[in-house]
Structures are given as C-alpha cells and as structure tokens.
A and B are shown apart, each in its own frame.
Chain A
Amino acid sequence: MQNFQGVGVSPGRIIGSVRQMPKPVSEPPSGERLASDLSPEEAVAGLKAAAQSVHDELKGRADSASGDGKAVLEATALMAKDTMLLKSAAKLINAGSSAERAIWEAGASVSEMLHNLGGYMAERATDVLDVRARIVAELRGVPAPGIPASDTPFILVAEDLAPADTATLNPAVVLALVTSGGGPQSHTAIIARSLGLPAVVAAHGVDSVADDSEVYVDGAAGFVAVSPSEEQRAAATAWAETSATLAEFDGNGTTADGHLVPLLANVGGAKDAVAAAALGAQGVGLFRTEFCFLERDTEPSVDEQAAAYKAVFDAFPGKKVVLRTLDAGADKPLPFLTDASEPNPALGVRGYRTDFTTPGVLERQLEAIARAASESEADVWVMAPMISTAAEAGRFASLCAAAGIQTPGVMVEVPSAALTAATVLREVGFASLGTNDLTQYAMAADRQLGPLAELNTPWQPAVLRLVQLTVEGATQEGSGREGDPKPVGVCGEAAADPALAVVLTGLGVTTLSMTARSLAAVGTVLKTVALEQAQELAQLALSAPSALEARDWVRAKLPVLEELGL
C-alpha cells in the first residue's frame, strides 16, 4: 500500500479512481527536420489529418457543452483546422521542417499576432497555443493536454491546475483534486474550495499513481492512500453523511458563548451573490469588482458599472456588502490599466497603485458605486486593495467622500499597512485582511510556487502576528477617541479554514469572509468554541515555532475537526 502526504486545502474524505492529467506538451526541438522517409506532401497530409481529429474532438465537446463554454469550444475547434494556421505550417514543412515543429512555429506566430492586437484577441491567443499543443500531441500519439474527458467520475491528479482549467473542469465527474505541486494558495486550492471538492496539494510523488488505481483522499488531513483500507472506506462513507449536514449554514456566526462573528461571503458578481445569500451568508465581505473589467480592452462606462454593482447589492438588502475597488495587476493584468512588461508584477503597479499611473478610472468607479449604493438597500462599504501607507488611506478616504461614499476602508495585505494599522485606520472606517497576499508578502514567497508551499500558508506565526498587530492597531486608534475600535475583518482563504477561523476570532478579528461553500463548516466549528478558548488557541498558534506546529497544536485542541472530517 502506497501513501502520500501533502497539504490538505479543501476538506472531504472520498474514494475514487485516478485519472492523471497528461503532462504539458513539450516543445519540438528548434530546427527539427522532416524524417528522411517522409515526403513533405505526406507530412502535410498527416498534419491535416491530426488537425481534423483535434477539430472533431473539440467540436464533440462543444456539442455537449452550454453557454459561454460552448462558444469558446466552437471557436477553438475551428482554429484547429484553420487555413491560415495550416497553410503557414505547410510552408515550413515544404522548407524541410518536421510537422510538429512547423505547427508549433505557425501557432506561435499567429498567437503573437493576436496577442499584439490586445483585448479580446489577446485572450484568444492562449486558445491558439492550446490548439497547437493538441495537434502536436495528436501527431505524437500521446494523450491530449488538459483535463481528461470522461463520463465516469474520477479523482483528478495533476502537477497543478491553471485558472483556464476551471472552464473545462466538470464538478459532476471530478470527485477530488490531488496535485504534486502547487501550494495552499494555488489556483488548484481556490478552484477546489469554490467548487466544494476535496483537495490535496503538494503531494510529492503522486504523479506516479497509475490511471484507474483506486485511492482514498482526505482533503483535511492532506492524505492520499492507494488501495484504501476498510477503515478508510468507512471514513469515506461517514463523510458522505456528515457532508450533507455541513452543507447548510444557519446564518448566525457566533462562538459557543454568544460572541458574534458575522460570516460573510466572497463574491465575484451577481450570480455568486445570489448563491451566497441562499447559503446563508450574513453579507458580503469581499466583492471583487474585476469581473466587470476582465476581457475588456476599454474601461466599462459608469452606467454599466453601476448596473453590475447594483445587481450584487440587491442580493443583500439591509445587509453589509464590502466592495473592493479594482484590483488589477500581477496575476490579473488589464490591457488598459497595467503594464505587462513589469519585471516584478507582484511588487509593481497593482491594486490601488494603478491610480498613480492611470488616474480617473478609480474616481469613475467610485461614482458608479455611490450611484448603485444610493439605488439599493444594501449597507455598502468600499475598500481599496494594496494600501501601503496612511497617506494612501487618507487619499482614498477623500476620494470616497468626494463621491459620496460613507464608509471607506482599506485592505491590509502589505505588511507595512499591518505594522502601521493605528495610523492607517485613523484615516478610514475599517480594515480587511487579505491573508493570501499578506502571506505572500510577509514570507516573500510567490503564491503559485509549489516548492514554497510550506512558507506560503497563513498558519505562519509571522502572518498571525501581523493579523494581531492590525487588531491591536485598531484598538490603539479607538482608545484615542470616543467609541468602539474600528472593525477588522478577514477576507482571505484563511477564513475558510475552520481551525484558522477559530484562531482569527481569538486574535480579535470581527468578521470572517470566505467562499460561500465554507460558511457551514466554519459556522459549525465556531459554535463549539468559547471566545476565551479561541483566545488561548490564538496564543498557542502565535507561540509555535513553525506553521506546521501552529496548525497541529490548534487542531489537536479542536477534536471536533477530526470528528467532522474537516
């Protein structure tokens, strides 16, 4: 029996058979020549046949898809047998190149052309590269890249998933996700939590498990076992029962002794907001407004923005909705706002900072928010991402005031903002900790890199200390005037981990905002803990010498997690 230990990122205990995601297609060597026993005509005919079968496969998938996914697949299918692409490849073959190398180069130049056109065309540039890789795989006789198509449910094992894989990931057939790379903040983890799929990342060696092997996955413990034992089968059966009771949140976030911690949802648009409200969310703690801007080559109009924001506000009448202004840059580039050629985008012009280089966009967004807020019944709070100094917070507050927005706030995700929370909070009405970026910046570890997974967890005592400093800053700021300290919430992935949610509550965080699917699990665990115990657990985590020990020590004191399989 073979076991793998990784990092659990989304709870659930499940048994299923493995499908390995094929490795990315490698580049055919530059200058690769046509095989001597093949004429150019034969090679061109072979390329056309491969292109046709890639077309047929994509077309078949388009026929069974619906909505936006269908349109994208149809367009991608057509690209596979596109005359422009195949003719330029044929030209290279006639000049002596191998078919694989020819289609690789032809795809690269078409993709570059589309990329340079910007906007929607640039988005399609990746589709051309996907088609190119599929044709090369077909020519080589290896499985097509991407998530395997299957009618029977399976556990997907991959090196890591990219955001683009979400579109083709069908939660009806994928039972769980296991990756050999990636970290707790990787896209795999985020995708898994939003779909409610059990997931383990950074399980080194799991790539070697053969297709169709039966495995047991425990997404809380980060454990994967080949050929499950009787005990593990029983655990999976038990999970199937408890997960049903963990699906519903009663809409009342509180500790056992009645200390209220409202549990809010992270949403990206009206559809998410309606779903979150149905799952019992007590409001929205993070409304990402990027959706309104993505796939655009120009800025959306104030009217268009106002309508989109109002649709989210309307899902929570009388409740709090915290909106984050445009957070472009780094992993979310926007052609009209960010400079893709920055050498170090995570430390570049992103978030609030885009207002330095492209003034006006933020003010128009605030105007749209104010208008939508005045037309809805939601209690709208507005925060800026990537605030580093009190001066920036002050400037953002005055922009909000000018637009008629009552409650301005800041995201605390740059360590400098946590360290100077008292002066930052003097300028605004609230703070919200973005633990994903706060962790990445505190630990100087890129969120997407598998080898840094151990550094990149909000269980790092240094990150918890920054959370504590932010809360202390709020208390200090409050003591200098009449009234309560200003609220400090958490809206990163950390809030979705029930054990961390207890620690954050103990540190004095006032609200927790998470993917709506995690509300019930977090709410259930929080109800079993008194505030004093949460405070003790917070101290315990802060005193740990490592993230691993912080997590293990806290989990050991919360046996309810093991009972529920969380």
Chain B
Amino acid sequence: MPERTATIASRSGLHARPAALFAEAAGEQPVEVTIAMQGEPADDALDAASILSLMTLGAAKGDVVVLRAEGDGADAALDALVKLLETDLDAE
C-alpha cells in the first residue's frame, strides 16, 4: 500500500484551522486516505478526512505522521496531502 511520512509544519499542530483545511483536502481526494502517528500500527490509522479524528490524533508541530492510501490516484493524493502538512497553514 503506498504510504508517505510528513512532518507537521503548522505552529498550532494539526488543530484548529490547519486540521480543517487538511480534512477538507483529504475529503476531496478520489481515494480514502488514513493518517497515523509514526510508529503506530496501520490498523490504528484514522480517517484523514475526519476533522474529529485529526483532533483526537493530537499531532503537534514537528511530529511525524504516516499517510496511507490505496487505489487509482493514491500516489498523487498522498503527494498533495504531504505538501499540505509540510506547509505552515497558520501563517496563511
């Protein structure tokens, strides 16, 4: 299954506005994307399009997360989402 790691760049972590922007973007992808903290089993991964899941994940700035997806367009989707996570969305 294609996967990518990304380091959270937003100052407030994956909370508030960055979480909303990311969840919205994940929901627009043609494939289902999951998110987990690095080192956690893939079975425990959460739905990346769920803002509530992202909030309970509690990822802070500098934390590394793993994104996973399967199917047509999975790689492109993951690349786009990694880029988003590695941008400081609080600064925009």
- Report A's interface with B, CB cutoff 8 A: 71, 74-75, 78-79, 82-85, 110, 113-114, 117, 120-121, 124, 128
Contact = CB atoms under 8 A, between A and B. Distances in A.
Given A71-B16, A82-B50, A114-B56, 12 more contacts: A71-B17, A78-B23, A78-B24, A79-B52, A82-B51, A83-B47, A84-B47, A117-B55, A117-B58, A120-B15, A121-B58, A128-B52
A85 B52 CA distance: 8
A120 B54 CA distance: 13
B47 A75 contact: no
A71 to B, nearest CB: 5
Interface string B1-24: 000000000001001110110011
Interface string B51-79: 11101101000000000000000000000
Q: How large is the interface on B (under 10, 10 to 19, 20 to 34, 35 or more residues)?
A: 10 to 19
Given A117-B58, A121-B58, A82 B16 contact: no
B53 A84 contact: yes
A129 B12 CA distance: 23
A206 to B, nearest CB: 38
Per DSSP, are chain B's interface residues mostly helix, strand or loop, or mixed? helix
Contact of B56 (A74, A83, A113, A120): A113
Contacts of A85: 50, 52
A110 B16 contact: no
A84 B50 CA distance: 6
A-B complex: 5 closest residue pairs judged by Cβ atoms = A84-B50, A75-B20, A78-B51, A83-B50, A71-B17
23 contacts: A71-B20, A75-B16, A75-B20, A78-B20, A78-B51, A79-B52, A82-B50, A82-B52, A82-B53, A83-B49, A83-B50, A84-B46, A84-B50, A85-B50, A85-B52, A110-B52, A114-B55, A114-B56, A121-B15, A121-B55, A121-B56, A121-B58, A124-B55
Contacts of A128: 52
B17 to A, nearest CB: 5
Nearest to B20: A75
A137 B32 CA distance: 30
Interface centre among A74, A82, A110 (most CB of B within 10 A): A82
Contacts of B53: 82-84
Interface string B77-92: 0000000000000000
